[in-house]
Structure 1
């Protein structure tokens, strides 16, 4: 099968060929004809399988065939994403695929001035990629209108709910025309997302090209048990011992990110960081430096779990396990993309065993544990069974209390 055989216009086919897209991936092969036919689609596919092209390419085809007919401040295709980084990534994909097409696209998210975004919208847009909060800001100021909206795309909608965007999403849905095409594309779909899809989609085509909530098969995954206070020391040890090159490190909190970066700097190891407290320009600079190979270590919160697309990223390290088990799939999905191999190692302390069990239940696999010599934890990480459940340790027999032993001795000497 080729992209031309799917009925795509020649400029798109030539651009995809120039970008190295030889044949459609399974999700693209199923999604592209459905999107062209204006069907609602609900597609679950692993990160790195080409799901962005699965909706972007057919939408660009349709918009081009219909011709430029967008009115002032209107948009014809709206793509909602959870984070600024993912917004930039998806918009870059639209620009790359549609480079030879006469279409207007733009991206809108918070943390930067709203004025340039409003200026772009004045002439109307064929495609707008946006985060929910900034989209509502633009709508309240009458900078964006939805009379001409044809298609709504929800990319990583489960993450939007995880980040607390439920109210914003409801507000967006109520502002959109009822008659539209709706597409949901994600690596995972929670039960909550499936319920939302039931309300929003009409007779959707369901596409699942990989098992639900599965990680990329070519990724080698393992766990290193360690005491919490020695995690930074262990990471630096593994960095040197295994001679890791480019490493993406996930830390649970913004403060934790900076603490690790400072600890690395104290040992002469340079690292960049991205998290919600950093200004957007600084975050983009850090991402670009990392993608260009100018900085080998990037420490991030889950803001980067879905929105960081790097060719041949070899190593992901979970310095902390994620609170939401689904985020483990998205974190590890930053490596092993497009069929490449990769590694994902998690540094796990005893009080994270519940998070580990949740990940194993979700992914239906037991992660291999490999202790590192010299870093064996004093506080052992409890075992989990094949279902990912915590196995309670057998109770040890109680030792006689010292006080009782002393009392016995005292009585014996008293009798003498």
Structure 2
């Protein structure tokens, strides 16, 4: 008999965290490793947010339990921020504050999925989505996209994937890992499809502020207002405000769904850390000057990485439109002899093998496409310093050239 439940035994470890952990272990052992694996900004949390947290630490009211669903002041601030940034109107009763965006994702699926309910999940997808769907009792139904389609799913594909068991469509724009940003007309068409077919939408908007060039974020329930009663928005402060370690996210949805989700959270975790919640109030209520500065840096790095990756023979990289990832096609490197500095010749048949060779021989970490349901590609985060970015991509070019 297994010592763990079948439900937990079936969970795959986070591939992005696994790559990051291996790279950090090699660094700890003295290796000069450059990591493109983790999806977190390299900037410190803006000072006014840190100051708010420091003040909160000294206030005894933050030393006690608080409402499981979130501080009332924060819930109102999230409503105000959502209206400011996307034009979507909601009330505190529509908001649940969660322990990070990842917690919001899992809770949203737990709120909607009964055993056997199908969730349409376009690929490439963030590694956590299928695991969260399965843990909630749902069944991921994967739709493949590719660089030719801009990594964007079509209404025709949704029609083909829909069955009488379809309950939810997962929608992500800007997308992790592909960096794709859906144009408003596509967002609207998909939202209208969901309304017409009675399908719920869980839309992950955590990269809403990170778009580049002419590409702009569009919130689906804003473009399709009638979707609001069958839509859950998940979001958080991690990416926008460089607050990955603070662990504050939220979900916005119909009041009955939020009430049930709050009841669930009251038994699972109780309230989110009060100090982190106070810091989040400062983040979402404050100016966006730091956000603009970070986005400008990311845009510069995106252009730099895009150019350098495309200069490598065997690599084809679409231009990143949002988030902070390049997602190049690396199939041209598969089956090629790669000679390491000690003269050893290695050949990769998959991007998993290629990632391991590059980590071992070039001391550069990236996440292979298999982790995102789309083999042959690799995810490279450009949320790291310019010098490391250039050095890391050049190491790969030197190794495979």
TM-score above 0.5, yes or no: no
Which TM-score tier does this pair reach, normalised by the shorter chain? 0.3 to 0.5
TM-score normalised by length of structure 2: 0.37
TM-score normalised by length of structure 1: 0.36
